[in-house]
Chains A and B, each alone.
Chain A
């Protein structure tokens, strides 16, 4: 996320005169010492758009967190494949997918921070939301936090379901009354179309492949399936925002997502698992901050550096 692009002297102490990296910086205010080391910290023009009339700001901020946390947490999981994928091409594909989702997450978290600040005067930014919330403050679905544990079939099953669902969601969200949600959806639809095709083709290759690849792909579906039902559960916040023309009702996505999964599983000679959903606890799930133990592991990795070195810049 947003590691600020100050000079390296901030981390190395007062070494400005002797900083060995000094020669690499150019004297025009661009302090990146190499390509890609800076993060764009300038907010996009749309992020500061006013909350649409008749929309509750707290609800809108919460909804931005839901969709942003799905992308952030799952992006972190996908990044586990970097240097661990079975082929370099698959590592590049999964890392690209993670990067797209991280980009979506940054905009959504920045929007959540802006809307929250305009509502109650807090001044958090995307980084504070990513690094300084506890697991109970995250609003992602459980599917996003599951760890595939370097089982490639699991990664494909998880990505197939996540991307099919998010694509259907963002496709409808392009008409949101909130301009930021609509903008994220407009870009995200194009990206997720590639993610879904990638996962679907691998599901086909593994499912309709060897006896072993078929068995492992089927086992991966069994592993992920209890997390599917939650994707189509409508939270109270979503219900209110659907009425305001801001949100998409996830319950409406089920038919489209089922049709996609049936098409892929059928061609791949895989069987749709007959397993009940994991359900909620006291009527609460990921959207209300109730998570599996897997989220703690994701956040430990995601947040540890920022928490050990608060305010650090490099």
Chain B
């Protein structure tokens, strides 16, 4: 029987994101807490986007990993608040994203007081570096990508398209 919180946290730390398996859920910053009491463990996670279709998979994968490690009573809770931010992706997570060809998100700018401003102008091409060739300036193809978290970009230097995890 396993009991230590650090052990449960280590087991949770092995579970990868179903949509971006190069990242663990902990890298992605969606694991909010791991609490152990005896052989019972409660993991609290938060969805990236409101409609994240991977939540059921995350829950099942966490339960499978913890049950496999000997925890008899596994609960995976979801909380919405505070809302997930790409700022919660760990340094390791950012490095793994870049190694897998996905440009990691920049820091989320601090929201000013008052209404959220429109951004009508084409986004700055300098903001995102190409994860393949390292060229500093790339262009946006589409704000929405194959997963809720990503957008599509293209590098004018190496001509390759790539995904960028957009800041939220």
**Shortest Cβ distance from residue B88 to the other chain A in the assembled complex, whole angstroms:** 13
- Pair A96/B144 contact, Cβ less than 8 Å: yes
B30 on the interface (CB 8 Å rule)? Answer: no
- Could you list 17 further interchain pairs (A-B, Cβ under 8 angstroms) beyond the known A35-B54, A36-B54? A28-B67, A32-B57, A38-B56, A38-B57, A38-B60, A41-B56, A89-B141, A89-B152, A93-B143, A100-B49, A101-B51, A102-B51, A107-B80, A171-B116, A183-B83, A194-B168, A198-B143
- Pair B60/A100 contact, Cβ less than 8 Å: no
A45-B79, A89-B142 in contact; A168/B60 too (CB < 8 A)?
no
**Shortest Cβ distance from residue A24 to the other chain B in the assembled complex, whole angstroms:** 14
**Shortest Cβ distance from residue B106 to the other chain A in the assembled complex, whole angstroms:** 15
- Tell me which residues from 77 to 102 in chain A have a Cβ below 8 Å from any Cβ of chain B: 89, 92-93, 96-97, 99-102
For residue B85, which residue of chain A has the nearest CB? A190
CA–CA, A103 to B53, complex, Å?
9
B120 on the interface (CB 8 Å rule)? Answer: yes
B63 on the interface (CB 8 Å rule)? Answer: yes
Could you give, for residues 113-136 of chain B, a 1 whenever the CB lies within 8 Å of some chain A CB and a 0 otherwise? 001101110100000000000000
- Tell me which residues from 49 to 91 in chain B have a Cβ below 8 Å from any Cβ of chain A: 49-57, 59-61, 63-64, 67-68, 76-84
- Pair B44/A186 contact, Cβ less than 8 Å: no
**Shortest Cβ distance from residue B128 to the other chain A in the assembled complex, whole angstroms:** 16
| Chain A contact residues: helix, strand, loop or mixed | helix
For residue A171, which residue of chain B has the nearest CB? B116
Task: Report B-chain residues with C-beta under 8 Å of the C-beta of A201.
Answer: 120, 122
Task: Report B-chain residues with C-beta under 8 Å of the C-beta of A180.
Answer: 80
Task: Report A-chain residues with C-beta under 8 Å of the C-beta of B13.
Answer: none
For residue A39, which residue of chain B has the nearest CB? B56
- A binding-site residues for B, Cβ under 8 Å: 5, 28-30, 32, 35-36, 38-46, 89, 92-93, 96-97, 99-104, 106-107, 167-168, 171, 179-180, 182-184, 186-191, 193-194, 196-198, 200-201, 204, 256, 259-260, 263-264, 267
**Shortest Cβ distance from residue A253 to the other chain B in the assembled complex, whole angstroms:** 10
Of the candidates B78, B120, B141, B148, which one forms a contact with A99 in the assembled complex, judged by CB atoms under 8 Å apart? Answer: B148
- Pair B148/A45 contact, Cβ less than 8 Å: no
Task: Report B-chain residues with C-beta under 8 Å of the C-beta of A183.
Answer: 79-81, 83
- Pair A42/B60 contact, Cβ less than 8 Å: no
Task: Report A-chain residues with C-beta under 8 Å of the C-beta of B101.
Answer: none
- Pair B118/A197 contact, Cβ less than 8 Å: yes
- Pair A186/B83 contact, Cβ less than 8 Å: yes
A187-B83, A190-B168 in contact; A171/B120 too (CB < 8 A)?
no
27 residue pairs bridging A and B, Cβ less than 8 Å apart: A28-B64, A35-B54, A36-B53, A36-B57, A38-B57, A40-B55, A40-B56, A42-B77, A44-B78, A44-B79, A45-B79, A46-B79, A89-B142, A92-B142, A97-B144, A100-B49, A100-B51, A103-B49, A103-B51, A104-B50, A107-B50, A171-B115, A196-B118, A197-B120, A259-B115, A264-B118, A264-B120
CA–CA, A38 to B148, complex, Å?
17
CA–CA, A263 to B146, complex, Å?
31
For residue A196, which residue of chain B has the nearest CB? B118
CA–CA, A101 to B148, complex, Å?
12
CA–CA, A79 to B150, complex, Å?
19
For residue A204, which residue of chain B has the nearest CB? B120
Task: Report B-chain residues with C-beta under 8 Å of the C-beta of A97.
Answer: 144
Of the candidates B83, B118, B146, B168, which one forms a contact with A260 in the assembled complex, judged by CB atoms under 8 Å apart? Answer: B118
- Pair B57/A35 contact, Cβ less than 8 Å: yes
Of the candidates A41, A99, A204, A256, which one forms a contact with B51 in the assembled complex, judged by CB atoms under 8 Å apart? Answer: A99
Most chain-B CB neighbours within 10 Å: which of A45, A97, A264? A45
**Shortest Cβ distance from residue B71 to the other chain A in the assembled complex, whole angstroms:** 13
- Pair B51/A190 contact, Cβ less than 8 Å: no
Give the 6 A-B CB pairs with smallest separation, nearest first: A103-B51, A103-B50, A183-B80, A183-B81, A30-B60, A99-B51
**Shortest Cβ distance from residue B75 to the other chain A in the assembled complex, whole angstroms:** 9
CA–CA, A100 to B145, complex, Å?
13
For residue A88, which residue of chain B has the nearest CB? B142
- Pair A45/B119 contact, Cβ less than 8 Å: no
Of the candidates B52, B77, B81, which one forms a contact with A186 in the assembled complex, judged by CB atoms under 8 Å apart? Answer: B81
- Pair A30/B120 contact, Cβ less than 8 Å: no
- Pair B50/A45 contact, Cβ less than 8 Å: no
**Shortest Cβ distance from residue B112 to the other chain A in the assembled complex, whole angstroms:** 12
Task: Report A-chain residues with C-beta under 8 Å of the C-beta of B119.
Answer: 197
